[in-house]
């Protein structure tokens, strides 16, 4: 504070002294109430001092925004969610927004006295707003994060004092990690809307897929109800052909979001779409349900599930014909998406008939030839194989594959009761590369010539297995073993066969005892023991262990006579062993990469869909030169091709982008050809675009999001009724361009009010106490 009339300081002081003496003299009566006299004198002196202070013209120094030098962005929500009516309201929320956006709005006129006010509207994108009549409230998106990011970019280098955001806060995008918070000025949200009318809506759908045979696709549907507590709500799961797959009926609860689960029936491989509907049970199509709900745009949603690009091919190699292959083959006969290719050795590499044992070790068929070299004769004693399930007469004709382009055509490999000497070192290294590079699955089964007994310690296949093979547990054999799931096994859907832990424990207790198990040195770090074997003495050993290995996965089933399980069935028509085999094989091939792989990515702040195609050759190296077609099948209308361009940073990767316009399910089909014209394969991906359902995923204003937005940017939530006073005081807040002002204190109305109140108080005290 400074003095505007310093020359009046001395006269004012003299007047103050005279006034003080006069007041003290006037209240000198000794007989009166001393306390009342002092109080009255104090009020009178205070009033005189306030008036004398005005003589020296005190000036208050203020800093405020320079009028017209700073910009104020005003952002209006123009999305369809503002078209709904709240309880007790005669007009939709949009009318309140339109009134705040009008040119004659008092708060805008007041803000325009200090700022360069620039108005914008947003739905899917942000645009300048010249007049309130341009607001249509028909946008099917509320890209709040995108709109604020666009204004933040627009305001870089400009004197922007803040952003007034008028919205219900129901955003269809999200504030990602790359959102430019540092460029955003203070945001002052104005929350529009209240409690909506009665409504039923599907707010969210989560799709999960497992190897659990009873529920390959699980859909978790969040149903939100408002204003219809106690009423029955029907939730339907429909297939692509509009057929009803499942039906659930729930009772609407007050202010709660309820979860409904559907287990979709097994489907073939590929992309599948499901449609979920929620509606009141007593509302029929002819009953005009739109009158009973705030909106119908959130009653239906689509879900997409990708069941993989089967059929998957599994190579089974066994050292001898056995029961395990019989039951495995029988189980996979019920799964059309898994093809089992068998390579069974029915005779080892040795002479089968020696008529004159001890005299000549050569095959007697070669007796009489002049070449008496035993080694030369022995090379014709080759093992004999049986091939089952091959595509043609050439597949596996030479035995186990020796080239990557032959072995990498399979998705998983199973070796059963086969010694390490069966493979060459190059073949074992190729299997290790099949898992680590190609990303395939590997399963080793127990038997007499498996694991330690097969001499795998120190070999590439031994490194691949999840158990140590360097030392065998030295203990006496037991009469039998029973199996039980570990805690990790209970958590893996492909290991469980029952829905609950108690049912699973009861199932394992009914299993027959097993007599053959391979003992190993222990389990490697990072591997999980999923099933344990317990003998009669209480000794526990691993029975099933698994681990990640490079891009693939490897497992070891140490039980050598698992087929006994199928000999004791509660129901002859159902086989738990068959179900277990199908789930294990599904787990082995579930994440195996394909030569042609199409994936998609959706950003939370945009409707754009980014497609990523990965092309690999027969050895799973990147394909640098290829021709591909990317066909997009929209919900309605003719299909069209999308251009894809090679990635500049990743070899073998092609990229494409697409912004869906229509609402519904989309499917993209990729077909790729090598530069020589050979077919690399094809893949497909699917997604759902539902802007209207996303817009109405909730109807209650998201006040929490707007409060967090204001707090993070240094703003504040402003009630709509206080907008005019906010506009008047905003100039005194922080702004990029400011000026300093000196305001005379005696120009303030409250200064005169203080003086008048002091004199009135002095008069009141005198009257109350009867002072002269």
pLDDT at 267 (0 to 100): 64
In contact, 224 and 197? CB cutoff 8 Å: no
Here the tokens at position 509 are: 């207790």
Say if residue 353 is in the same domain as residue 340. no
Residues 621 and 683 in one domain: yes
For residues 388 and 436, membership in a common domain is answered with: yes
Residue 505 domain flag? no
47: helix, strand or coil: helix
Identify the band that residue 98 occupies on the pLDDT scale cut at 50, 70 and 90: very high
Within-domain flag for 512? no
3-state secondary structure of 412: strand
Residues 554, 420, single domain; the answer is yes
First to last CA, the chain: 39
Q: Which helix (H) or strand (E) holds 245?
A: strand 244-251
Q: Could you say which DSSP state residue 1 is in?
A: -
* 579 in the same domain as 615: no
Question: In this structure, is residue 407 part of a structural domain?
Answer: yes
Two tokens at 526? 């990072």
pLDDT tens readout for residues 613-660: 999 999 999 998 899 999 999 998 789 999 999 999 999 999 999 988
The answer to whether residues 754 and 651 belong to one domain is no
* The two three-digit tokens of residue 287, written as one number: 């009953």
Q: What is the rounded distance in angstroms from the CA atom of residue 36 to the CA atom of residue 64? A: 45
User: What does the pLDDT look like over 242-273, one tens digit per residue?
Assistant: 899 999 999 988 767 899 999 887 667 788 99
- Looking at every residue in the chain, the average pLDDT score rounds to 86
Half-sphere exposure of 318 (CA within 13 A, CB side): 23
Q: Among 157-166, 379-388, 678-687, whose mean pLDDT is lowest?
A: 379-388
User: SS3 string of 156-221?
Assistant: CCCCEEEEEEEECCCCCCCCCCCCCHHHCCCEEEEECCCCECCEEEEEEEEEEECCCCCCCEEEEE
Whole-structure pTM value: 0.75
Instruction: Point out the least confidently predicted range of 333-347, 540-554, 714-728, 735-749.
Output: 735-749
Q: Are residues 318 and 415 in the same domain?
A: yes
Residue 342 CB burial class (10 angstroms; 0-12, 13-18, ≥19): buried
Distances (CA, A) of 765 to 33, 753, 754: 11, 18, 16
Does 502 map to a domain?
no
Query: For position 125, which CATH number holds?
Result: 3.40.50.410
Is 16 a member of any domain? Answer: yes
Q: Are residues 560 and 666 in the same domain?
A: no
* DSSP helix/strand/coil, 468: strand
CB distance 89 to 83 below 8 Å: no
Contact, 292 vs 283, CB < 8 A? yes
DSSP H or E segment with residue 407? helix 404-407
How many domains does one find in the chain?
6
Name the pLDDT band for 365 (thresholds 50, 70, 90): very low
Task: Give the structural domain span for 12.
Answer: 2-64+740-769
Q: How confident is the model at residue 31 (pLDDT cuts 50, 70, 90)?
A: low
| CATH number assigned to the domain comprising residue 616 | 2.60.40.10
Query: 429 and 570, same structural domain?
Result: yes
CB distance 713 to 186 below 8 Å: yes
Cα 713 from chain centroid? 26
Q: Is residue 253 assigned to a domain?
A: yes
- Quick one: 262 and 324 in the same domain? no
Does 514 map to a domain? no
Q: Supply the CATH number for residue 557's domain.
A: 3.40.50.880
Domain presence at residue 531: no
Same domain, 341 and 355: no
Tell me 543's DSSP state: E
Confidence of residue 355 (pLDDT cuts 50, 70, 90): very low
Query: Does 407 lie in the same domain as 473?
Result: yes
């Amino acid at each position: 504070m400074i003095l505007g009339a310093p020359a009046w300081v001395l006269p004012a002081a003299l007047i103050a002294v005279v006034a003080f003496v006069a007041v003290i003299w006037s209240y000198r009566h000794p007989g009166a109430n001393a306390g009342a006299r002092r109080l009255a004198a104090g009020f009178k002196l205070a009033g005189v001092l306030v008036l004398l202070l005005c003589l020296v013209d005190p000036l208050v120094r203020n800093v405020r925004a320079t009028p017209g030098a700073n910009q104020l962005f005003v952002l209006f929500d123009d999305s369809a969610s503002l078209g709904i009516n709240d309880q007790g309201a005669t007009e939709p929320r949009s009318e309140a927004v339109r009134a705040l956006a009008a040119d004659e709005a008092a708060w805008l006129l007041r803000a325009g006295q200090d700022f360069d006010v620039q108005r914008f509207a947003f739905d899917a994108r942000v645009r300048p707003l010249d007049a309130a009549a341009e607001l249509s409230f028909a946008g099917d998106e509320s890209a709040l994060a995108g709109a604020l990011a666009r204004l933040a970019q627009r305001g870089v280098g400009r004197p922007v004092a803040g952003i007034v955001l008028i919205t219900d806060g129901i955003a269809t995008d999200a504030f990602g990690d790359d959102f430019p918070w540092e460029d955003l000025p203070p945001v002052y949200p104005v929350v529009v809307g209240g409690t909506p009318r009665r409504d039923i809506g599907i707010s969210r759908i989560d799709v999960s897929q497992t190897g659990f045979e009873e529920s390959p696709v699980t859909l978790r549907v969040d149903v939100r109800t408002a204003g219809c507590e106690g009423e029955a709500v029907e939730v339907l799961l429909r297939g692509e052909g509009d057929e009803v797959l499942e039906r659930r009926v729930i009772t609407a609860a007050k202010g709660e979001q309820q979860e409904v689960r559907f287990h979709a029936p097994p489907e073939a491989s590929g992309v599948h779409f499901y449609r979920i509907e929620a509606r009141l049970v007593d509302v029929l199509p002819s009953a005009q349900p739109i009158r009973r709900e705030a909106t119908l745009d959130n009653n239906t949603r689509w879900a997409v599930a990708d069941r993989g690009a089967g059929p998957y091919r599994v190579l089974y190699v066994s050292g001898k014909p056995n029961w395990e292959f019989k039951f495995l083959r029988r189980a996979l006969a019920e799964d059309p998406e898994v093809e089992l290719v068998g390579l069974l050795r029915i005779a080892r590499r040795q002479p089968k008939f020696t008529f004159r044992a001890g005299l000549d070790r050569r095959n007697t068929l070669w007796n009489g030839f002049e070449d008496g070299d035993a080694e030369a004769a022995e090379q014709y004693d080759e093992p004999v194989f049986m091939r089952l399930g091959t595509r043609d007469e050439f597949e596996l004709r030479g035995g186990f594959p020796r080239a990557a382009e032959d072995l990498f055509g399979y998705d998983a490999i199973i070796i059963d009761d086969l010694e390490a000497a069966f493979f060459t070192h190059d073949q074992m290294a190729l299997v290790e590369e099949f898992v680590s590079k190609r990303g395939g699955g590997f399963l080793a089964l127990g038997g007499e010539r498996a694991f330690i007994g097969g001499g795998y310690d120190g070999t590439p296949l031994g490194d691949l297995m999840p158990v140590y093979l360097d030392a065998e547990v030295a203990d006496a054999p037991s009469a039998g073993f029973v199996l039980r799931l570990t805690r990790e096994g209970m958590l893996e859907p492909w290991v469980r066969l029952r829905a609950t832990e108690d049912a699973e424990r009861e199932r394992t207790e009914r299993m027959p005892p097993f007599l053959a198990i391979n003992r190993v040195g222990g389990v490697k770090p990072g591997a999980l023991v999923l099933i344990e074997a317990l003998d009669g003495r209480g000794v526990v050993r691993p029975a099933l262990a698994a681990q990640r290995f490079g891009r693939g996965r490897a497992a070891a089933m140490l039980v050598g006579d698992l087929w006994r399980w199928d000999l004791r069935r509660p129901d002859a028509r159902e086989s738990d062993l068959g179900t277990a085999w199908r789930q294990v094989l599904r787990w082995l091939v579930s994440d195996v990469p394909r030569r042609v792989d199409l994936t998609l990515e959706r950003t939370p702040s945009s409707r754009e869909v980014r497609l990523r195609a990965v092309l690999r050759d027969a050895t799973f190296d990147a394909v640098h030169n290829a021709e591909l077609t990317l066909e997009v099948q929209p919900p309605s209308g003719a299909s069209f091709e999308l251009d894809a361009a090679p990635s500049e940073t990743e070899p073998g990767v092609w990229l494409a982008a697409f912004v869906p316009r229509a609402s519904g399910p989309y499917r993209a089909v990729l077909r790729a050809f090598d530069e020589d014209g050979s077919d690399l394969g094809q893949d497909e991906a699917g997604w759902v675009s539902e802007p209207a359902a996303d817009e109405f995923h909730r109807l209650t204003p998201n006040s929490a999001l707007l409060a967090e937005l204001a707090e993070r940017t240094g703003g504040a939530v402003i009630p709509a009724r206080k907008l005019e006073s906010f506009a008047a005081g905003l100039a005194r807040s922080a702004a990029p361009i400011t000026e300093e002002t000196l305001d005379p204190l005696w120009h303030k109305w409250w200064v005169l009010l203080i003086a008048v109140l002091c004199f009135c108080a002095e008069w009141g005290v005198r009257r109350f106490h009867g002072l002269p």
